[in-house]
């Protein structure tokens, strides 16, 4: 009997020791954020260059997001401007449908005109529901068609927990996102300088200064390094915020959905940022568009091509773990024309301890057409002449 009790006791102690061992069942701080809690119903802290999630709470839970919706609306607008489909000087005329929007608005009258720039800033700064509809109708022909564009773009971004039913986030059925999906939308928007510019505007005057807009994202004043963001609130969604902050070369995105009381979306976002900047640092090796090499070009109008990075070569690591990274530029010695600007011609590989940590495409910085037969003949003759 004594031996049986002793065996059971030793077995129990072995299990306890195993569970207490520091080498087992340890949470990865890069994924779970030990000691970090938030009252948000769902939250994500992300590094946008790589998409690495530093902290998450129910990241895929589908929730209403109120006016945070407008980040996708603005993304489609700035993409249209960058693609040349719209100009900031374009005149937008408000319809009766736009005029009928409630909630946050700039009180557009049917038939009233404003420039696209004024409308876009009114969306970013004043969270104007009527401006969202006016621009959507101008770009897509109707709000419904624009919403289809929003959902199509969400699918292109690989989002599985997002569906839009309107352009502005006013309460409606079948309109939801997740904290992770919204972080991905903001990540895409941050690639556009125009989005960052309007999103970081704190005050804007319209109608000749008769109407003043103040940005609803108070982090622009309360938290150093804030570069973008959009707030949201409805009874259904509670308080929501998707924002971005950059300090010491490290850019972070925080999304909080469903925080309970006024200003709690700011408080909870700051909590996430404080954790992120205290625990992590950036290893910035190259900026986007940095020239890192050249390639000889055959049968082209030019004989040499500069190669640049397609994206920033930047990693986020735990503080104190920023040493020991190696880089390798992988390029062909020779490439034949024609070459289009943006064509992938190589890769930039970052390794640490023999393992690949990051890979970024290297692309052509210009278009080089194929040379004509006559041009190629002249080049051969010129090279023969030089040899003699």
pTM higher than 0.85 for the full model? no
Q: Which residues of 358-377 are buried (b: 16+ CB within 10 A; e: fewer)?
A: bebebbbbebbebbeeeeee
Q: What share of the chain is helix, strand, coil (3-state, %, to 5)?
A: 35, 30, 35
- Find out whether 160 and 181 touch, Cβ atoms under 8 Å: yes
The band of 378, judged by pLDDT with boundaries at 50, 70 and 90, is low
C-alpha to C-alpha distance for 13 and 180, rounded to whole angstroms: 41
Extended strands (E) in 107-249: 113-115, 203-206, 211-214, 226-234, 238-247
Among 56, 67, 104, 178, the active-site one is 67
Most confident segment among 17-21, 42-46, 333-337: 42-46
Q: Residues 6 or more apart from 275 whose CB is under 8 A from it?
A: 33, 36, 45, 54, 55
Residue 3: pLDDT over 50: no
pLDDT for res 31:
44
pLDDT for res 102:
83
Among 56, 57, 70, 199, the active-site one is 70
243 in catalytic set = no
372 in catalytic set = no
Residue 15: pLDDT over 80: no
Among 56, 95, 104, 127, the active-site one is 127
> For residue range 169-226, what is the model confidence (pLDDT) as tens digits?
999 999 999 999 999 999 999 999 999 999 999 999 998 888 999 999 999 999 999 9
Q: How far is CA 99 from the centre of its chain?
A: 31
Domains and their CATH numbers in the chain: 29-282 (3.40.710.10), 287-379 (2.60.410.10)
67 in catalytic set = yes
Q: Residues 6 or more apart from 326 whose CB is under 8 A from it?
A: 350, 351, 352
Mean pLDDT of the chain: 89
pLDDT for res 209:
82
Stretch 22-48: mean pLDDT, rounded?
68
The band of 121, judged by pLDDT with boundaries at 50, 70 and 90, is very high
Q: Give whole-number Cα distances, 74 to 79, 84, 159, in Å.
A: 8, 15, 17
């Amino acid at each position: 009997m004594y031996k049986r009790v002793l065996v059971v006791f030793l077995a129990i102690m072995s299990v306890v020791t195993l569970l207490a061992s520091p080498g087992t069942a340890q949470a990865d701080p890069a994924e779970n954020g030990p000691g970090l809690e938030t009252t948000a119903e769902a939250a994500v802290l992300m590094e946008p260059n790589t998409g690495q999630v530093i902290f998450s709470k129910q990241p895929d839970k589908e929730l209403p997001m109120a006016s945070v919706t407008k980040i996708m609306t603005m993304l489609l607008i700035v993409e249209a401007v960058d693609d040349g489909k719209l100009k900031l000087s374009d005149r937008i005329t408000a319809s009766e449908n736009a005029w009928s929007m409630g909630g946050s608005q700039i009180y557009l009258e049917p038939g009233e005109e404003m420039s696209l720039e004024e409308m876009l800033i009114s969306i970013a700064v004043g969270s104007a529901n009527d401006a969202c509809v006016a621009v959507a109708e101008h770009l897509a022909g109707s709000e419904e068609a624009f919403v289809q564009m929003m959902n199509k773009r969400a699918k292109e971004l690989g989002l599985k927990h997002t569906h839009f039913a309107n352009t502005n986030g006013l309460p409606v059925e079948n309109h939801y996102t997740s904290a992770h999906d919204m972080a991905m939308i903001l990540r895409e928007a941050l690639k556009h300088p125009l989005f960052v510019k309007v999103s970081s505007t704190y005050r804007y005057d319209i109608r000749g200064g008769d109407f003043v807009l103040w940005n609803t994202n108070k982090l622009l004043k309360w938290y150093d390094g804030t570069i973008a963001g959009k707030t949201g609130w409805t009874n259904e969604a509670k308080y929501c915020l998707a924002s971005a902050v950059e300090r010491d070369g490290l850019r972070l995105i925080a999304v909080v959905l469903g925080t309970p009381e006024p200003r709690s979306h700011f408080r909870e976002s700051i909590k996430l940022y404080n954790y992120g900047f205290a625990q992590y640092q950036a290893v910035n090796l190259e900026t986007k568009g940095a020239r890192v090499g050249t390639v000889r070009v055959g049968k082209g109008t030019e004989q040499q091509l500069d190669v640049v990075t397609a994206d920033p070569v930047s990693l986020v690591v735990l503080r104190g773990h920023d040493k020991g990274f190696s880089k390798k530029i992988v390029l062909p010695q020779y490439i034949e024309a024609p070459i289009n600007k943006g064509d992938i011609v190589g890769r930039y590989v970052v390794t640490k301890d023999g393992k690949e940590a990051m890979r970024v495409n290297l692309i052509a910085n210009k278009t080089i057409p194929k040379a004509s037969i006559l041009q190629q003949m002249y080049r051969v003759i010129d090279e023969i002449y030089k040899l003699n």
